[in-house]
């Protein structure tokens, strides 16, 4: 059954008018969904607790995300909770759903805070949502004691308080204190200022490297063809079947086709390679002599 989270205003109104479930009714609905996959029971369960999801979503508006998106994520978390809820454990659904709703909203906020991934571990998530609050409390406590904490000392106290490495605190301060900028923004206020994207290194292959590669490839191909021309027809056949096919043939299969023993085919292959090596060495010497 589909749930419409498209309008936060209308959804909020419907949520406030939704029925309040007592423990017995909630349990019956949970069993009906888990055991019989009754979508009507699921719908009643979700609708009854959408007010909880909307209330939790509102607490995250300060992170700048649209309220409608927060409600959608809260609704998705509520649906995940309904899918995984086990009524046999004796816990109220609302108590269980709170964790899933909060996790869904937090994941959304962190995904959309910056194009640079903010963090994914539980400790980094805790730091993201608690850094400012912990910092404010530590500043109040220090002021009450007449202590002035420098930036480094504050970071160390935050790391100890939240239980994360100091480098995580430094990284998160940067993520929370800055914002993403367009690469098309100019580096100065001048109209002719260069855009930041122009300062990035071009990782694509350069023209001179492309020309050089094509030239070397063509030369090697010509050398190989010349080396193959030094072989007789049977030797070329063996080399082609053994080395130039996507699925090289075995010595035994070639021996059967040529009415030769496997050992004889191996000897012919070795002799062919020896001829080709001499031909390639000759080409190489001529090129080196020309360059010298």
Cα–chain-centroid distance for residue 126?
A: 21
Higher per-residue confidence, 281 vs 270: 270
pLDDT band for position 26 (cuts 50, 70, 90): very high
d(CA 64, CA 56): 15
Query: How confident is the model at residue 219, as a pLDDT?
Result: 80
For residue 186, list its beta bridge partners: 195
Question: What's the mean per-residue pLDDT of the chain?
Answer: 79
Looking at residues 102-112, what average pLDDT do you find?
83
d(CA 260, CA 257): 8
Query: How confident is the model at residue 64, as a pLDDT?
Result: 76
Looking at residues 87-91, what average pLDDT do you find?
90
Looking at residues 125-153, what average pLDDT do you find?
80
Q: Is residue 180 predicted with pLDDT exceeding 80?
A: no
pLDDT band for position 41 (cuts 50, 70, 90): very high
Looking at residues 171-191, what average pLDDT do you find?
57
* Closest to 104 in 3D by CA, of 123, 130, 125: 125
Query: How confident is the model at residue 62, as a pLDDT?
Result: 77
Q: Which residue has the tokens 């030094």?
A: 230
How many CA atoms does the CB half-sphere of 29 hold within 13 Å?
A: 22
The segment with the largest mean pLDDT, out of 64-68, 98-102, 190-194, is 98-102
Q: Is residue 229 predicted with pLDDT exceeding 80?
A: yes
**Who's near 53: CB < 8 A, 6+ residues apart?**
15, 71, 74, 75, 77, 78, 97, 101
Q: Is residue 120 predicted with pLDDT exceeding 60?
A: no
Q: What is the pLDDT of residues 200-216, one digit of tens each?
A: 555 555 666 677 778 77
**What percent of the chain is modeled with pLDDT above 90?**
24
pLDDT band for position 28 (cuts 50, 70, 90): very high
Looking at residues 6-10, what average pLDDT do you find?
54
Which has the minimum average pLDDT: 49-58, 73-82, 180-189?
Answer: 180-189
pLDDT band for position 110 (cuts 50, 70, 90): confident
Query: How confident is the model at residue 206, as a pLDDT?
Result: 60
Query: How confident is the model at residue 116, as a pLDDT?
Result: 43
pLDDT band for position 65 (cuts 50, 70, 90): confident
The model's pTM is: 0.47
Q: What is the pLDDT of residues 242-275, one digit of tens each?
A: 888 888 899 999 999 989 998 999 999 999 889 8
Tokens representing 97 are 């759903």
Residues 36 and 51 sit within 8 Å (Cβ to Cβ): no
């Amino acid at each position: 059954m589909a749930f419409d989270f498209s309008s936060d205003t209308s959804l909020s109104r419907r949520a406030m008018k939704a029925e309040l479930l007592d423990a017995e009714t909630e349990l019956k609905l949970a069993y009906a969904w888990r055991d019989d996959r009754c979508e009507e029971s699921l719908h009643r369960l979700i609708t009854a607790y959408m007010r909880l999801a909307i209330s939790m979503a509102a607490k995250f508006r300060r992170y700048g995300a649209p309220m409608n998106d927060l409600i959608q994520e809260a609704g998705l978390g509520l649906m995940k909770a309904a899918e995984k809820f086990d009524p046999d454990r004796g816990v109220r659904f609302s108590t269980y759903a709170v964790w899933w709703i909060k996790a869904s909203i937090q994941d959304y906020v962190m995904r959309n805070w910056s194009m640079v991934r903010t963090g994914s571990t539980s400790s980094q998530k805790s730091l993201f949502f608690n850094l400012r609050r912990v910092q404010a409390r530590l500043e109040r406590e220090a002021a009450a004691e007449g202590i002035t904490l420098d930036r480094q000392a504050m970071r160390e106290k935050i790391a100890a308080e939240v239980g994360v490495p100091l480098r995580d605190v430094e990284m998160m301060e940067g993520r929370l204190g800055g914002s993403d900028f367009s690469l098309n923004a100019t580096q100065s206020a001048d109209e002719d200022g260069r855009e930041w994207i122009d300062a990035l290194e071009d990782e694509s292959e350069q023209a001179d490297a492309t020309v050089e590669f094509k030239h070397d490839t063509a030369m090697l191909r010509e050398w190989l063809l010349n080396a193959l021309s030094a072989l007789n027809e049977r030797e070329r056949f063996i080399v082609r079947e053994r080395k130039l096919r996507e699925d090289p043939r075995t010595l035994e299969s070639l021996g059967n086709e040529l009415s030769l023993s496997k050992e004889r085919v191996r000897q012919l292959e070795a002799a062919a390679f020896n001829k080709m090596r001499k031909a390639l060495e000759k080409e190489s010497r001529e090129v080196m002599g020309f360059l010298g």
